[in-house]
Amino acid sequence: MAFLQRTMNRGSVSTGYDIDNSLKVEADNSEYAEYAITSTTDRRNFCFSGWVKRTELVNATDGGQLIFASFTEGNEGVLLRWSRENSSYYDGIQVDIGQGGTNYRSYTSSLYRDTSAWYHIVLAVNTRENTASDRWKLYVNGEQVTSWAQQQFPTADFLTSANLSGSKHTIGAYETGGTVYGKNCGYFADFHFIDADGGNVTFLPTDFGETDEDSGIWKPKAYTGSYGTNGFYLDFESSGSLGADSSGNSNNFTLNNITAADQATDTPTNNFATMNVLWGNDNMPLMSEGATEFGNNVSAYRYAVATMGVTSGKWYWEIKPTVNGNTLVSGAGIASNENTLFFYDETGNFVYHYDGDRYVNGTAVSSYGTAWSTNDIIGFAYDADNWTLTCYVNNSSQGNLLASQTDISSELFIPYVYSFGTHTYQCNFGGYTNMSNAHTNTDENGYGSFVYAPPTGYYALCGKNLAEFGGTA
């Protein structure tokens, strides 16, 4: 399970600047937001900055995944997206700069496939520059991208379609000719667009972020500059108005298929666990809803583990079976990071089976607790220091599931869910959930959003809690 350890990014450090909320977008639901530009301003000099956490990689059927665009109906302008330029560069970053039938297209050699971490992306454009390579620059996590599979620069003083009256700012996807393209899956946070408004401004990633002195991690900071006429700031703070512009410009976005339920507390300053879309067996589970919903629609075994595992501390999470929760083979619990496969009856797995039985270190032990039913809330309270896993059915404790840890060499264990046959599970680590149940309970630190209150002393799997209590390898 070295892969899991390698890709896990805490994404949470002491910042002095906290981002409280993010926006979850889902490709299958065609969720996106747009703002119609009514006045032409600076088409040469502008900057986009935003934080993105991916929950699905690019595939052969989608047209890339849009992060941000300022474009016309004719599909011209500035587009920033996860690339599907060719199979060698899936999940690189693609930058398009165009107008009037001329398009300059670039895509990175580096690929960005970590679905456990937040990426900070800055695109700074100034076609007034004399040097071609200065006319636009891309930064990821504070560092300028210098490795390109293809890189094209516009001519000097090139007029893009960005900031052009009749064009649109759009995030998450874009619509043209009545069709939605570039549909994205993931979380968006702290989105800025700066319109130079006729100036000659050099934008840098340090306008929006900085390196933490203690950890060396790139972190957000408050932007203190002006926005210009067509600039905006989306902080996603108001669940009832997620498209509200907080720059003072009132450049509010129209929401398409986005509701208050799409607000999340998974942010760059407090990164929450989700299900790991990069780790599973050959029959990869169907992931959706910000990588919090696990699905199986075939007569085959599927499993998924979380993006965070722990070595110490007390941790709480929930699952909800919504389809066939009490039929066929299914269950959940914790799994050792030393496993290469996660079948429920393997050594290193400790699971609460759908029928009320338990599997402890690969051995079936009957009559543990209540059998599950569809729409039950199954809670898990894992004490890694004292080797206990207390499971709950609708807040009713089933007692400790675990036995002796004598023959378990691993110290790192990961939340885990599995099924054989048609099942759907909603998994709630506190950062976002698709559960229809009221989920307003937090842990004692005020983090998370759970159906039931975590037991005393147990915490949500998120970066701030992990930094305080340790526990992650």
List pLDDT tens digits, range 35-86: 999 999 999 999 999 999 999 888 767 678 999 999 887 667 899 999 987 7
Would you state the pLDDT for residue 448?
Answer: 96
Cα within 13 Å of Cα(407), Cβ side: 9
Residues 177-182, mean pLDDT to the nearest whole number: 86
26, pLDDT greater than 80: yes
Least confident of 28-42, 126-140, 199-213, 408-422: 408-422
192, pLDDT greater than 60: yes
Residues 116-130, mean pLDDT to the nearest whole number: 97
406, pLDDT greater than 80: no
Residues 357-381, mean pLDDT to the nearest whole number: 89
More confident residue, 430 or 74: 430
Highest-confidence range of 79-88, 178-187, 262-271, 280-289, by mean pLDDT? 262-271
Residues 359-384, mean pLDDT to the nearest whole number: 90
Residues 433-460, mean pLDDT to the nearest whole number: 96
Would you state the pLDDT for residue 1?
Answer: 34
pTM: 0.93
Residues 366-392, mean pLDDT to the nearest whole number: 93
326, pLDDT greater than 80: no
More confident residue, 248 or 359: 248
120, pLDDT greater than 90: yes
Would you state the pLDDT for residue 343?
Answer: 64
Q: How confident is the model at residue 348 (pLDDT cuts 50, 70, 90)?
A: confident
Residues 312-332, mean pLDDT to the nearest whole number: 82
134, pLDDT greater than 90: yes
Would you state the pLDDT for residue 339?
Answer: 65
Output b/e per residue, 147-158; b: 16+ Cβ within 10 A: ebbebebbeeeb
271, pLDDT greater than 90: yes
Q: Give percent of the chain with pLDDT exceeding 90.
A: 66
Interacting residues of 213 by C-beta distance below 8 A, sequence separation 6+: none
283, pLDDT greater than 60: no
Q: How confident is the model at residue 360 (pLDDT cuts 50, 70, 90)?
A: confident
Q: What is the mean pLDDT of the chain?
A: 88
More confident residue, 333 or 326: 333
Q: How confident is the model at residue 349 (pLDDT cuts 50, 70, 90)?
A: confident
461, pLDDT greater than 70: yes
Assign domain 286-469 one CATH number from 3.30.200.20, 2.60.40.420, 2.80.10.50, 2.60.120.920.
2.60.120.920
One fold for 20-264 and 286-469: yes
Would you state the pLDDT for residue 398?
Answer: 97
31, pLDDT greater than 80: yes
Q: How confident is the model at residue 4 (pLDDT cuts 50, 70, 90)?
A: very low
Q: Give percent of the chain with pLDDT exceeding 70.
A: 89
Yes or no: is domain 20-264 CATH 3.30.1240.10? no
Would you state the pLDDT for residue 189?
Answer: 98
Q: How confident is the model at residue 236 (pLDDT cuts 50, 70, 90)?
A: very high
Would you state the pLDDT for residue 171?
Answer: 96
Would you state the pLDDT for residue 463?
Answer: 95
Least confident of 138-152, 255-269, 365-379, 411-425: 411-425
Would you state the pLDDT for residue 408?
Answer: 65
- 7 class by beta-carbon count within 10 Å (0-12 exposed, 13-18 middle, 19+ buried): middle
295, pLDDT greater than 90: no
Domain boundaries, the chain: 20-264, 286-469
